[in-house]
Structure 1
Amino acid sequence: MNEQHNPWQINGEKTIYDNPWISVTEFDVINPSGGKGIYGKVHFKGYAIGVLPLDEELNTWLVGQYRFPLNQYSWEIPEGGGPFHFDPLDSAKRELLEETGLVAGQWTKIMEMHLSNSVSDEHSLIYVARDLRQETACPEETEQLQVRKLPFEEAYQMVEEGRITDSVSVAAILKVKLMLADGRIS
């Protein structure tokens, strides 16, 4: 099987919804089995950026906020959007400062991933921020945030217990746990 071959045939498309952050397109398709149908795609107009800050004592910071789409409260690593025309690292620096007031002297990109590839093209980049210093947070007006400093191991336990469910946060915390275990981070 050729992994580069697209088995979907697109016969038409129409934009159903569009705003500054996302657009939704409905495609008239013939699926890989030859059946006619529709497929909806959510296109994101920027990156999903995640930052796991980690200090010398292996503490991290989580951000708590009420998530409108889930209708529930969520604990997460600092994260947000980054326009495609900006350097993703600059977006990561901005998000970390906005949400926690932290500035980092050392940055490492630890992973890239697609967040919900059955319905969207959202692409995430995740960084670890080290060599931290505290400044003043300046969250966006739409954000009512609670910032919590805690031992990284406690954040890991929150993932293990299902108290952190945000996919970017879960992936970042599990990746850093592996990196700590095999010595890539100390």
Structure 2
Amino acid sequence: MSDEPKNTPFSPSVVSPVWAAGQPDPVPWRDLGHEVVHETPWMKVTEHQAVAPTGHPARYGVLRFRNIATGVLPIHSDGTVTLVGQSRFARANYSWEMPEGGAPFHEDPFEAVQRELAEEAGLKARSWKKALTVEVSNSITDEVGITWLAWDLSEAPTDPDPTEVIAVARVPFTLLLQEIERGAVLDSFTVATAYRAYHMAREGLLPSWLAHAMLTRV
């Protein structure tokens, strides 16, 4: 596999927001060369000799993933959502979140997220709508994430990863928002997608019957 740092075809193109009109053109970082300092089947770390936009020299380390992050918030017809709970290694905590996974660069992320929905939550969906495309933590990683909302759900066989012990809970969407607000749900992918789902429900971007169920079920 190439060591070139720009390793994902899904990186979004640069689009200036409307408020950037009239601002001077941004000065980019300059990369003078890099080396791979750590590598696994899922990611690698590259260290760069760089020049900052200010002209200041800098050493810059970047975590580069080999997957597109994917996630889905499954919404049932009664306004509940399915979440999964599992222990996370990095912060040594237990996390409640929507079903999430990764799509290798050669795979369609939508196919990957459908697989994750079945493997982790035991669900499949007839209706899908893209929610977000985000840069997950763009100061230190090039990871891009894509999330969907899914409904018209039915059961599917589960097949968790050999390292995962997953719990499944079905809760009102409004309760998920409350748990986010009190700091009990911290996964950024889930938090961002839940608030996006709330906006979509309020703004008529989802079927009216589904939005009504989401916003009124307590």
Same fold (TM over 0.5): yes
Report deviation, 1:113: 0.2
Unaligned 5+ runs, structure 1:
none
What letter is aligned with 1:137? T
Q: Which of these residues, 104, 110, 117, is aligned with residue 83 of structure 1?
A: 104
What letter is aligned with 2:47? E
What letter is aligned with 1:25? T
Residue in structure 1 matched with residue 144 of structure 2 by the alignment: 123
Residue in structure 1 matched with residue 187 of structure 2 by the alignment: 166
Report deviation, 1:183: 2.3
Q: Is 1:25 matched with 2:46?
A: yes
Q: Which of these residues, 122, 137, 144, is aligned with residue 101 of structure 1?
A: 122
Residue in structure 2 matched with residue 58 of structure 1 by the alignment: 79
What letter is aligned with 2:192? A
Residue in structure 1 matched with residue 25 of structure 2 by the alignment: 2
Q: Is 1:110 matched with 2:131?
A: yes
Provide the secondary structure at the position in 2 that maps to 1:33: coil
Alpha-carbon separation, structure 1, partners of 2:103 and 2:34: 27
Alpha-carbon separation, structure 2, partners of 1:141 and 1:40: 31
Report deviation, 1:9: 2.1
- What is the aligned-residue RMSD (CA, Å)? 1.1
| TM-score normalized with structure 2 length | 0.82
Identity of aligned residues (%): 38
What letter is aligned with 1:68? F
Alpha-carbon separation, structure 1, partners of 2:51 and 2:124: 50
| TM-score normalized with structure 1 length | 0.95
